[in-house]
Amino acid sequence: MKSVDDAASIGKFPAAVAVNMAAVLIDVNKTFRRGRDEVNALRNVSLQIHSRSFVAITGPSGAGKTTLLQVLGGIERPDSGKVCVGGKDIGELSEAERTVFRRRNLGFVFQFFNLLPTLTAWENVAVPLTLDGARRSVARTRAKEMLDLMGLAKRAEHHPRELSGGEMQRTAIARALISEPALILADEPTGNLDSETGRSVLRLLRQVVDDRGGTVVMVTHSLEAADVADRSIRFVDGVPLPA
Amino acid sequence: MILDALRSAWRHRFGSALGAIGIALAVALTVTVASLHSSLLGSIDRFSDQLAQGADVEVLGNVDGGVTEELAREVLGMEGVGVVVPMLTSQVIVDGERTILVGVDERVLALKGVFSSELLVRVVSNLEDGRLLFGPAFDAEMATVHEFYTAASGHQEISSAGVIEVAEARSFNGGRFVVTNLEAGRRLLHLPDRADSLFVVGDGSRSAHALASTVKEKLGGRAAVAQTGIRVDQVSAVADPIRLAILLAGSASFAIAGVLIFDAVAIGVERRRRELAVLRTIGATSRQLMLSFMLESSLVAIFGAVLGASAGLIMARITVSQLPPFLVSAFGVEIGFLPAWWSIPLTSLLGLVIAVTSAGIAARRITIISPAEAVRSADVSSLSEKQKSRLFLGGAGVLSLVLAALFALFEEEWTGVIAVMLVIIGIAGIASGVSSWFVAGATALAVRLPRIWLVTEAALRSSHRRTAVCATVIGVALTLVVMTDGLARNQVETMRATLEPLTKLPLLVDTSSGDEAPANVLFPDSWTTELDELAGVTVTGSGQFTFVIHKNDRVLFQGVSGPTSLAPVYALADTSVRDRIFDENAVIISTQFADRFHVREGSSFVLRTPSGPHTVEVVDIVPSASWPNGLVATSLERAQSWYARPGVSFIELAFDGTVPEDAAVAAVKEFTGQTGFPVYVVSGALQVDRTAAATVQATAALRAIELVVLIVMALVVLNAQVSMIWQRRREFALLRAIGGRPGYAAMTVLVEVAAVTLGAALLGAIGGVWAHRLASSIAESLSGFPVFYKWEFAGLFLIIPLTVVVACAGAAFPAYWVAKIRGVDAFSEE
């Protein structure tokens, strides 16, 4: 309960408060059009996510969990409201600025790993660095160090098709961490793994918060996964409910 | 079911559009060529038909000067001959434009042509001299005086006795003709006793073929004899090779259209894999699903065929109106637009068959889709593509090149064609075989690119199949383009080379504008004396061109006045022997004539002329691009007397320095202007430039082939890249999600295409240079014109960058599309 508060409890979020938060959302709304219907994915969502915390977002399908992650990641713009990440109002950033912001400040972990099949494990991990202009030698050294931390040193030269599900997800986590982002956004990171492998991935994410001082926001259906978090927020019909 | 297929085609409209464009291009090209061919032959055929429908045999003079009435009487006396109809169909100049003078008498009523009307015969029989019936193209007021010229008659004034307004008359030479009675026509032309053609109607005792044989045998070569349609045969001899060359390109377009449809369906199957798996799960058979793809492709093909046929007809219409003047002027018949309607259903059906077959082959992949895939989650590893060894393809390519070299040794036309095909196949094989080297090369290049090196590397590593496809198509395209470009440039240079002596000529008075075949119109001989007397100029030579019939082929005949002439064929001949043409029965011939009639230097052959047969000795053989069937040159004196054609086609002038050159030219123009003849007064160099420009126009067919090849190449690149992006869309979405700029992904597409294009283009250029060498002799046989092979380096400089640009243009849309992929897509399963 220490890291997530209802936004209303601290009033209108002075900037000074927002700076101390990993992320803050104020009155965020997001509506999608599906055919002729409008779907309110997020309705007046106000949240604050403290730095160095592990937050689980739970809820049924279509509750707006993934949309929340996309809005936090600057991938989707909210229709209204403010989204501050690391003290920066990302709603005020241009598309190009948000792209660079994501590259340097955010890490993503996906349910289906999203590894580039033609690249080896270390090359997959190195992608965010190369997008920022890193030289090959620097990128390789840093990527291999990161894989070593994930216990995948011996798999560095392997392609995704040669890795197990758990190894692929750990490689994806290494990729998410390589830019040392303040905030990790994980979308069902255990959804495609068996329970034992899933648990090891959750332990890894927990270590990111405890040992590396990172902040993790994880969308999950799994109650077991939510238990690993410091705080769970349940979403129903685009509205966060206190757990 | 059709509605479903239409809906599906619309849903996958990009792939549908590619397939439709492929079919449309192929259909358009074929319909254009077929319609162009039918317009050429049809116009000539219609001309013959309108003149002499009902005739069994046509007797033409061995020269455009025609035949005599005596010959007509002789033919009438032959067995099996019922009626002989002599007719004048001479080219004359009326009001400065080429017009046909038709002369008929009552014998024409034995035929069923436009002029076989009792009323018309009655009217023209009573015409006064100088009054003619005019064709509907003339706005002929009775009171208007019209200018009439021929070489023999010089300038005369004529007037209209009325305009023939019947509908058929409009289609006879576009309505541009004048009609009079045979005798009046002869007086007008100053050619007593002459007719251009004798149309023979049999008495029914034998077939037309047997009748033609009888007449031919009895005349013994004093005139050309054939069943009616001889003109069509002559045009076919010129037009068929062009048709063959372009139909080959049309066939290639159909093959490429098949590839495009195959690709579109293959991508469609891949895109709809999950959907197809679901359908399989709920009971759809592979056959049903395959049929749905084939139906969709057939609808696309029908759409493409309709589009292509319409475009083809429009293109043919434009092409007919823009035909090279030399082709039109050579036959003296207005070429109208006569669409080859038969080609539309035929090519559409062919397109449909190709589309359905290609779709069927591509849709066979459906049989390997398991219903289990419907419940399986996306597996990234399945997208990874293992590099397959294609070295055997490279080996086959090398073998093809070796075989090409062997076939080229035989120097026969058919072995040459096989050699060129083998070079193309060889380049395709090698390009496909070494495509992994292009990937390696491109990867080596990619690692030097800031920021996107790893992304580009990732793209390239997944690219073996599409690189092989792109490299093969680009390699083959370059081979074709370099080859055709070399041929086109060589043709222009050849024309320049054969006319080179003219560039030294200060001033030329000519009946032809340089972009036309030598005209039948001749200037009076007296002009040479009169021009020589003008201040500031001296006549250095003159000569005559005429078309003569040699062994039923239309051959160009040149008469040259004397040793100081710069007339191209004479001036190019060996100086030690060429002057023999002035002293004895000797001729200089072009290489075309030598090849066509199997004549060698030092040998003799017989020329059938109105004055009887003349045995001539060949003193030299000169490469000349004057006329596809060849050219024979002798002295002007012999040309005039043998063919009974006084006058000259061109007069060569030099400045003597007594007056300024401008004043001398003005004096010459003033003199020719007064005569009323259509005369061209130009420097020799300008005349050569005009001819070269006309040759450039004639090479338009080759340029059109290049354009089609480049468009198809761009389409294949586009298709391959779109396919790649579809397969890798989640990767690109991921890159966007984790902070890759849109431009990074777009750049990977362009880098890959540029690198592969450059590699394949270099390979294709090597193949093209070789194919160009091999194709030179084939082009000579196909076009009828000599092509002097010369290595064309300048073209390569232009073509390789152009190909890279065109290929990158083909990749522009995929690059744009990939830049539009959003990070959100990385979160979805599909």
* Number of neighbours of residue B338 by Cβ within 10 angstroms: 20
Please choose, from the candidates B129, B152, B148, the residue with its C-alpha nearest in 3D space to the C-alpha of residue B140.
B148
Residue B565: both structure tokens together: 């002439």
For residue B545, give the H/E element and its range. strand B537-550
Return the CA Rg of chain A.
18
Cα distance from B738 to chain A (closest Cα, Å)?
5
pLDDT above 80 for A55 = yes
Supply the ipTM of this predicted assembly.
0.80
Of the partner residues A112, A114, A117, the one whose CB lies closest to the CB of residue B384: A117
Q: Is A181 helix (H, G, I), strand (E, B) or coil?
A: coil
The span from the CA of B295 to the CA of B224, in Å, is: 56
* A7 — pLDDT class (breaks 50, 70, 90): very low
Distance of CA A173 to the CA centre of its chain: 10
pLDDT above 70 for B354 = yes
B492 touches chain A (CB under 8 A): no
pLDDT above 50 for B181 = yes
Note whether B131 and B161 are within 8 A (CB): yes
State the pLDDT at residue A49. 92
State the pLDDT at residue A13. 45
pLDDT above 80 for B45 = no
Q: Which residues of B touch A34 (CB under 8 A)?
A: none
Residues of A with CB under 8 A from a CB of B: 66, 69-70, 73, 75-76, 96, 99-104, 106-108, 110-119, 123, 126-128, 130-133, 136, 139, 159-161, 168, 175-176, 187, 192
The span from the CA of B248 to the CA of B254, in Å, is: 10
State the pLDDT at residue A17. 46
Look at A75 and B462 and tell me if their CB atoms are within 8 Å: no
pLDDT tens, position by position, A86-140: 888 988 888 888 888 988 899 999 888 888 887 899 999 998 888 888 888 899 9
Top pLDDT among B787 and A25 is at A25
Q: What mean pLDDT comes out for the span B437-462?
A: 73
Q: Which of B382, B383, B454 to mutate to test the interface with A (most CBs of A within 10 A)?
A: B454
Please choose, from the candidates B723, B716, B697, the residue with its C-alpha nearest in 3D space to the C-alpha of residue B476.
B716
Instruction: Classify strands B612-622 and B586-590 as parallel, antiparallel or unpaired.
Output: parallel
Selection from B428-442, B504-518, B580-594, B702-716 with the highest mean pLDDT: B580-594
Size of interface A-B (CB pairs under 8 A): 117
Please choose, from the candidates B271, B289, B340, B346, the residue with its C-alpha nearest in 3D space to the C-alpha of residue B26.
B346
**CATH class (in words) of the domain with range A4-238:** alpha beta
Q: What mean pLDDT comes out for the span A23-48?
A: 88
The span from the CA of B361 to the CA of B745, in Å, is: 32
Buried b or exposed e, range A99-131, using 16+ CB within 10 angstroms = bebbbbbbbbbbbbbbbbbbbbbbbbbbbbbbb
DSSP annotation string for B744-796: HHHHHHHHHHHHHHHHHHHHHHHHHHHHHHHHHHHHHHHHSS-------HHHH
Q: Which residues of A touch B729 (CB under 8 A)?
A: none
pLDDT tens, position by position, B462-488: 667 677 778 888 888 888 888 888 888
Which residues is B87 bridged to in the sheet?
B197
pLDDT above 80 for B303 = yes
Burial class (CB in 10 A: 0-12, 13-18, 19+), B183: middle
Q: Which of A70, A124, A130, A137 to mutate to test the interface with B (most CBs of B within 10 A)?
A: A130
Nearest CA in chain B to A104: B739
Q: Which of A112, A132, A187 to mutate to test the interface with B (most CBs of B within 10 A)?
A: A112
Of the partner residues A108, A112, A126, the one whose CB lies closest to the CB of residue B380: A112
* Number of neighbours of residue A197 by Cβ within 10 angstroms: 18
Q: Tell me the CA distances in angstroms from B382 to A99, B462, B826, one per residue in order.
A: 29, 12, 17
Q: What mean pLDDT comes out for the span B766-775?
A: 83
The span from the CA of B262 to the CA of A61, in Å, is: 39
pLDDT tens, position by position, B482-538: 888 888 888 888 888 888 888 898 998 887 766 665 556 678 888 899 999 988 899
B615 touches chain A (CB under 8 A): no
Residue B726: both structure tokens together: 């579809």
pLDDT above 50 for A2 = no
Look at B453 and A175 and tell me if their CB atoms are within 8 Å: no
* B96 — pLDDT class (breaks 50, 70, 90): confident
Nearest CA in chain B to A66: B827
Q: Which phi and psi angles does B325 have, rounded to 5°?
A: -55, -30
Of the partner residues B454, B742, B829, the one whose CB lies closest to the CB of residue A127: B454
* B431 — pLDDT class (breaks 50, 70, 90): confident
B436 touches chain A (CB under 8 A): no
State the pLDDT at residue B802. 85
Q: Which residues of B touch A139 (CB under 8 A)?
A: 454
* B592 — pLDDT class (breaks 50, 70, 90): confident
Which of A28-37, B75-84, B402-411 has the least mean pLDDT? B402-411
Nearest CA in chain B to A67: B824
Cα dihedral sign, B262-B265-B271-B277:
negative
pLDDT tens, position by position, B245-296: 566 666 666 776 777 777 777 777 776 777 777 777 777 777 878 888 888 8
Cα distance from A11 to chain B (closest Cα, Å)?
32
* Number of neighbours of residue B70 by Cβ within 10 angstroms: 9
- Return the axis-axis angle of helices B742-783 and B729-737, rounded to nearest 10°: 140
Look at B824 and A112 and tell me if their CB atoms are within 8 Å: no
Q: Tell me the CA distances in angstroms from B425 to B170, B252, B414, B436, one per residue in order.
A: 50, 13, 16, 18
Q: What mean pLDDT comes out for the span B627-635?
A: 85
pLDDT above 50 for A47 = yes
Task: Tell me, letter by letter, the H, E, C secondary structure of A49-66.
Answer: EECCCEEEEECCCCCCHH
Q: Which residues of B touch A116 (CB under 8 A)?
A: 458, 731, 734
The side-by-side arrangement of strands in the sheet containing B537-550 is B604-609, B612-622, B586-590, B631-635, B553-560, B537-550, B650-655, B507-510, B680-682
Note whether B211 and B202 are within 8 A (CB): yes
Of the partner residues A104, A114, A128, the one whose CB lies closest to the CB of residue B730: A114
Please choose, from the candidates B625, B558, B554, B556, the residue with its C-alpha nearest in 3D space to the C-alpha of residue B237.
B554
State the pLDDT at residue B604. 93
Q: Which of B460, B734, B747 to mutate to test the interface with A (most CBs of A within 10 A)?
A: B734
Look at A117 and B453 and tell me if their CB atoms are within 8 Å: no
Nearest CA in chain B to A116: B731
Residue B766: both structure tokens together: 């090597």
Q: What mean pLDDT comes out for the span B164-176?
A: 77
Domain residue limits, chain A: 4-238
The span from the CA of B246 to the CA of B179, in Å, is: 39
pLDDT above 90 for A155 = yes
Nearest CA in chain A to B459: A118
Residue B621 sits at the vertex; the CA angle it makes with B620 and B622, to the nearest 5 degrees, is: 115
Distance of CA A75 to the CA centre of its chain: 12
Share of chain B above pLDDT 90, in %: 6
Buried b or exposed e, range A224-240, using 16+ CB within 10 angstroms = ebbebbbbbbbbeebeb
The span from the CA of A233 to the CA of A216, in Å, is: 13
Q: Which residues of B touch A73 (CB under 8 A)?
A: 737, 823
DSSP annotation string for A9-69: GGTT--HHHHHTEEEEEEEEEEEEEETTEEEEEEEEEEEEEETT-EEEEE-STTSSHHHHH
Nearest CA in chain B to A77: B824
Nearest CA in chain B to A100: B739
State the pLDDT at residue A54. 94
pLDDT tens, position by position, A61-93: 888 898 999 999 988 889 999 999 988 898 888
